[in-house]
Structure 1
Amino acid sequence: MDTAMGTTTAPREALAVAGGVVLDWSYALWRQVASVAQGRVTTTTVHPPQGVPGGASVTGSSSLTARDDVVLIPGIYEPAGFMDPLRRRLQEWGHRVVVLPELGYNRRSIPETADVAAARLRELGVKDAVVIAHSKGGLVGKLLMTAYTQDALVARMLAIGTPFEGARYSRYAPTRPLRSFYPGHPVLGSLAKNLKVNANIVSVGARVDPLVGRSTQLEGGRNIVLPVTGHFRILASPELMTVVDDFLHDEVGGSGEQAG
């Protein structure tokens, strides 16, 4: 009986994962189209808070104020508006949200992307910001935390689906920007050696991520795995919203590992 149940469960799980992957790519396509339609590709935008500091979901005291900035850094081939659903939620929670359309579709190398982001944040007078980043954006965010310490641009980061350990199959990718995520790439190696800021980073991964797998693990950071299938759709998951809310009301990222 156990064997029969096992053989029945496995195909169902495979179908569920396959369906989740299809939904994941559908979500990515929707966000790409919506970003273009809303003009979030080339327009520089700084979004003011729309809710009370800390948001209605906060219980008890909070250290957040309306002056706290949240900087969104999307992943590769993702325009600034790709993370708009999250941006709107953050505004409702009382944050000024900075997006970086100057990054275009985020096809530059990680160091070049960090240079562009740092220059814009300096222009805006951003200091000790909280970064919420997706995929490649988390690598850019960590570089901002390590190579621009004199500017004090970023204090903490929540990285979502970021391949801190590299993506195994990226060396076979069809484009040069995608091939830069393979394990052992000099930039990833340099970032991995810098452990000091990892305690201020929370790395969130999906239980099933068809693009980066479990390479979101970050030594010395807090690692969270959510019961989600997909590299993109995780951005809209209720589970992630809970993690974001908790992260924004915790002054330190903390360390350790947690499975969702």
Structure 2
Amino acid sequence: MSEPQELSAIARGWWWARDYVYAGIRQLAIVVQGWNPPARWRRGREDLPEVLLLPGIYEHWSFLRPLGDALNGAGYRVRVVHGMGTNRRGIAETAKRLGRAIERRPAPDAGRVIVAHSKGGLVAKQLLVSGADAAADGPHGLLGLVAVATPFAGSRMARLILDPSVRALLPSDETIVLLGRAASVNARIVSVFGRFDPHIPDGSLLEGATNIRVPVSGHFRILGAVETHRAVLEGVARLDGRSPTDQPGSPG
């Protein structure tokens, strides 16, 4: 797969602006759409894995609402992982919190798949690395992870932010380095990313994983794109052992 697309400074600035406009709209959407996930998300086919949504740093679950709607429209039961706050804690600590949150409910027979954005993907990979789940019959019932726009190798852009929780995403951070070396779980990960990500200019390619590039740019805007929804559905199907052509449905 080719390297991340190189763009001019003007083009990069344009995508930065569009990305933050989209992020602002998603932040405000919660006022109109409500604080709680739609009740319909809890209904779906029992022969399909349950999907757990895990947002990134500073993100509310509503950032992933377009993805949740697409997944539920395809027949999946969708749940939001609560108790993560704004995802500013360390990756390892948050992964432990994630595990405890998942364990509060018994795993469905069809297992679970985490669909995460940005730092949420790192947290979910840390949970897989912890060794608590070797298969769907483990304590969390996890089949794997579909990560959207996740900085698996860190992001050099983190140096521009003073917040320690963001700077912990630098490529040189110890946790990022250790996660990068933990390749044994990569086969259980599907990494979905766009043509250009202003927050992760070096890309989200993960060796040993299933990598899917979509024809969309942006770190946040990618969440609302139909192409991304299709790629995520394909990723969940792969982790469930189904061919991408056997997907239960498609986004509307």
TM-score of the pair, normalised by structure 2: 0.81
> 2:187 aligned with 1:206, yes or no?
no
Shift of 1:66: 4.5
Residue 246 of structure 2 corresponds to none
Q: Which has the higher contact order (CA 8 A, sep 6+)?
A: 2
For residues 94 and 129 of structure 1, do their structure 2 counterparts lie closer, same or farther at Cα, with a shift above 3 Å needed? same
The one-letter amino acid of 1:100's match is: V
Residue 34 of structure 1 corresponds to 29
Shift of 1:32: 1.2
> 2:56 aligned with 1:75, yes or no?
yes
- Select which of 138, 145, 169 maps to 2:128: 145
> Do 2:103 and 2:140's aligned partners in 1 also have CA atoms closer than 8 Å?
no
Residue 116 of structure 1 corresponds to 97
> Do 1:202 and 1:253's aligned partners in 2 also have CA atoms closer than 8 Å?
no
> Do 1:144 and 1:153's aligned partners in 2 also have CA atoms closer than 8 Å?
no
Aligned pairs for 1:212-227 (under 5 A) are 212-227=200-215
- Select which of 73, 92, 102 maps to 1:92: 73
Shift of 1:15: 5.1
Residue 6 of structure 1 corresponds to none
> Do 1:76 and 1:105's aligned partners in 2 also have CA atoms closer than 8 Å?
yes
Q: Give the fraction of aligned pairs with identical amino acids, expressed as a percent.
A: 35
**Runs of 5+ in structure 2 lacking a partner?**
1-5, 244-252
Q: Deviations over 1:203-231 (max 9, x none)?
A: 11221111111331111112222222210
> Do 2:107 and 2:139's aligned partners in 1 also have CA atoms closer than 8 Å?
no
Residue 48 of structure 1 corresponds to 42
Q: Deviations over 1:219-252 (max 9, x none)?
A: 1112222222210000111211221222232235
**Runs of 5+ in structure 1 lacking a partner?**
1-9, 54-64, 255-260
TM-score of the pair, normalised by structure 1: 0.79
Q: Aligned partners of 1:249, 1:191: CA distance in 2, in Å? A: 25
> Do 2:149 and 2:219's aligned partners in 1 also have CA atoms closer than 8 Å?
yes
> Do 1:74 and 1:80's aligned partners in 2 also have CA atoms closer than 8 Å?
yes
For residues 253 and 159 of structure 1, do their structure 2 counterparts lie closer, same or farther at Cα, with a shift above 3 Å needed? farther
Instruction: Name the Cα RMSD after superposition.
Output: 2.6
Q: Aligned partners of 1:253, 1:186: CA distance in 2, in Å? A: 36
Q: How many pairs were matched up?
A: 229
Any idea what SS the aligned residue of 2:30 has? helix
* Structure with the greater alpha carbon radius of gyration: 1
Shift of 1:202: 1.1
